[in-house]
């Protein structure tokens, strides 16, 4: 099996896993994505190489980022630099400062929970005791 074949197989397995996590049948996901049931089945088994447009439709239906599927398919390269979500939240002009603080607090709490990550440098982990305190 070539590296490219393995990539398509891995992509299909990832889509299947996401579908199962979302508790969606193959038929339901195919309806939501606007593609045929047999075609989605072939994608999940690594037998078909979907276009970027089809991957976008699947991503929307699974409520995940298209970029995630594009990277797994080899359409996009994975970013080397870490994306600064906290800075993006703080720059958002459409939410209040209190909402920004709440979102940052929740995000950082999730990051601390996740193995191998650490809190943002401006917030000690001891402050991040859980999102329920925010509400």
Average pLDDT value for residue range 46-68 = 92
Give the tens place of pLDDT for each residue, 97-109.
Answer: 999 899 999 988 8
CATH 1.10.260.40 maps onto the chain at: 3-73
pLDDT for residue 133: 42
pLDDT band at residue 79, thresholds of 50, 70 and 90? low
- Please answer whether residues 62 and 44 qualify as being in contact, where contact means their C-beta atoms are separated by less than 8 angstroms: no
**80-131 pLDDT tens trace:** 666 778 888 888 889 999 998 999 999 888 888 875 544 444 444 444 444 4
d(C-alpha 10, C-alpha 101), whole Å: 38
Q: Is the pLDDT of residue 41 over 90?
A: yes
pTM beyond cutoff 0.85: no
CATH class of 3-73: mainly alpha
The CA distance from 46 to 31, in Å, is: 20
């Amino acid at each position: 099996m070539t590296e490219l074949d393995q990539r398509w197989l891995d992509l299909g397995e990832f889509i299947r896993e996401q579908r199962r996590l979302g508790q969606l049948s193959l038929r339901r996901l195919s309806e939501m994505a606007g593609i045929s049931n047999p075609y989605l089945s072939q994608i999940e088994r690594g037998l078909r190489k979907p276009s970027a447009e089809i991957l976008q439709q699947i991503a929307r239906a699974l409520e995940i980022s298209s970029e995630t599927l594009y990277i797994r398919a080899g359409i996009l390269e994975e970013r080397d630099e870490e994306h600064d979500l906290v800075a993006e939240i703080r720059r958002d002009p459409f939410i209040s400062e209190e909402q920004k603080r709440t979102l940052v607090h929740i995000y950082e709490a999730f990051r601390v929970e996740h193995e191998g990550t650490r809190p943002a440098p401006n917030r000690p982990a001891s402050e991040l005791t859980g999102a329920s305190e925010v509400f």
